[in-house]
Amino acid sequence: MDHSAHHTSPMHDHATHEGHHGHSDHAVPDGGHGGASWAMAAKATLHCLTGCAIGEILGMVIGTALLWGNVPTMVLAITLAFVFGYSFTLFAVRRAGLDLKTAIKVALAADTVSIAVMELVDNAIIALTPGAMDAHLSDGLFWSALLGGFAVAFLITTPVNKWMIGRGKGHAVVHAYH
- Taking the C-alpha atoms of residue 52 and residue 153, their distance in angstroms, rounded to an integer, is 11
In this structure, are residues 34 and 166 in contact, taking their beta carbons and an 8 Å threshold?
Answer: yes
**CA atoms of 159 and 45, how far apart (whole Å):** 9
Burial of 58-74, coded b for 16+ CB within 10 Å and e otherwise, reads bbbeebbeeebeeeebb
CA 107 to chain centre: 10
Q: What are the pLDDT tens digits along the chain (178 aa)?
A: 444 444 433 344 433 333 334 444 444 433 344 578 999 999 999 989 999 999 999 999 999 889 999 899 999 999 999 999 999 999 989 998 999 999 999 999 999 999 999 999 999 999 899 999 888 889 999 999 999 999 999 999 999 999 999 988 888 788 777 5
- pTM (predicted TM-score): 0.77
Q: CA 8 to CA 12: how far, in whole Å? A: 7
Q: What is the pLDDT of residue 146?
A: 93
d(C-alpha 89, C-alpha 73), whole Å: 25
Q: What phi, psi does 13 have (nearest 5°)?
A: -90, 115
Neighbours of 155 (CB within 10 A): 12
Residues 7 and 13: beta-carbon distance below 8 Å: no
